[in-house]
Structure 1
Amino acid sequence: MRTRLVVVDMQHVFADAGSAWATPGYAAASAGIRRLLPAFAGGTVYTRFIAPAEPRGAWIPYYRAWPDQLLPEDDPAWDIAPELPVGDSPVVTATTFGKWGTELAAATEHAERLVVAGVSTDCCVLSTALAAADAGRFVVVPEDACAGLTEADHRRALDAMALYASLIEISDVASVLAMMAG
């Protein structure tokens, strides 16, 4: 089964402890992702969350709460953190939490199975994994290559995804590496 790694939103804005959107477990998630990368050489896709130029609908009150995050698309806060070598890998950029859609489907070369890792488990990872599974992709989420806003939020998101058993598998980095080697 063709498998691709989707690295969700591993960006400065979530890595920087001084950011309003800092994810406390970011460093641990990054370490897990770096362990996965060699097994997915040539088969990794990165995603980036960015603020919309002009929020619409429900995003209007959302950004009223986070006005300091209405940064232009080229602001360095939105860059993928440098410890993750993007190289020639595709990068899917979206103004939505969930990154699943035609662009990510094409960037993953319509792989049957996706390993989805990144931040935050309880927001962008959850939204992306559920939509990909709903579109018929098998999804594996290595819990030690993800981080939530709190450990409790991380666990709740994993538990919610586990409800989609047979569509979404909650796993760990060691098991994903074994799956890719076998």
Structure 2
Amino acid sequence: MIDDDEWLVVIDRQKVFAQSDWSAWACADGSYHATDEAFVRLAGAYGERVAYTRYIAPDEPKDAWVAYFRDWPQFLVPLDDPMYDFTDETARLAEGHPVISRTTFGKWCPELEVAIGGTRRIALCGVATDCCMLLTALAAADAGVRVRLVADACAGSTPDNQRLALETMRLFSPLIEVTDSATLLGGRAAVA
């Protein structure tokens, strides 16, 4: 069940992670779109208590990011490049909600804390489970926030990486709970 003070934080549901015909960063085998139904149901259930994040490239990479973007130069584009736009359905649902854009994989930050009103309970969904989701969940949990990761509303870069990331986050129970949308919304379903 959803707690009255819990927020849904939607991580990086962007075209760059969804569209595999042109993006090497897209979730494998269309797995991004396998999360659409659970995401829509969650966004509706949380109502006004939903915040969204977007990954954007830095203007000028620094430190370890310099070498990273040597390997991925095609993603070093201005923050308003359409590749970093939300997917269409996500953009529609994000209207009127807080949106935090970050040049880091982890999205837990003071701006996000303010956007969610300082609550100490969040549910996470989005992409990629083995990158941005993992780093956000760990940082939030480390800050004392109870995190519920909604597995069927998350996609990894590959199915194996999805499984490994979920197993990793289960190591941090009870700080991080891996669950599914049916459980949060009052029904029961197996966790991926």
- What TM-score results when the alignment is normalised by the length of structure 1? 0.96
**Corresponding position of 1:57:** 63
Could you tell me how far 1:110 is from its partner in structure 2? 1.1
> Which of 165, 171, 174 is the equivalent residue of 1:163?
171
Unaligned 5+ segments in structure 2 are 188-192
SS at match of 1:165: coil
> Which of 10, 13, 20 is the equivalent residue of 1:10?
13
> Which of 9, 22, 25 is the equivalent residue of 2:26?
22
Q: How many residues align?
A: 179
SS at match of 2:113: helix
Unaligned 5+ segments in structure 1 are none
SS at match of 1:106: helix
Could you tell me how far 1:30 is from its partner in structure 2? 2.3
SS at match of 1:83: helix
**1:102-117 pair list within 5 angstroms:** 102-117=110-125
**Corresponding position of 2:190:** none
The reply to whether residue 150 of structure 1 matches residue 158 of structure 2 is yes
> Which of 77, 80, 86 is the equivalent residue of 1:80?
86
Describe the superposition over 1:35-70 as per-residue Cα deviations: whole angstroms up to 9, x where unpaired.
111111100000000110100010001000000000
Q: CA separation in 2, counterparts of 1:141 and 1:111?
A: 16
The reply to whether residue 176 of structure 1 matches residue 190 of structure 2 is no
Describe the superposition over 1:112-138 as per-residue Cα deviations: whole angstroms up to 9, x where unpaired.
210011000000000000000101100
Which of 27-36 and 117-126 deviates more? 27-36
Could you tell me how far 1:21 is from its partner in structure 2? 0.8
Aligned-residue CA RMSD (Å): 1.1
Could you tell me how far 1:80 is from its partner in structure 2? 1.1
**Corresponding position of 1:44:** 50
- What TM-score results when the alignment is normalised by the length of structure 2? 0.91
The share of aligned pairs that are identical, in percent, is: 47
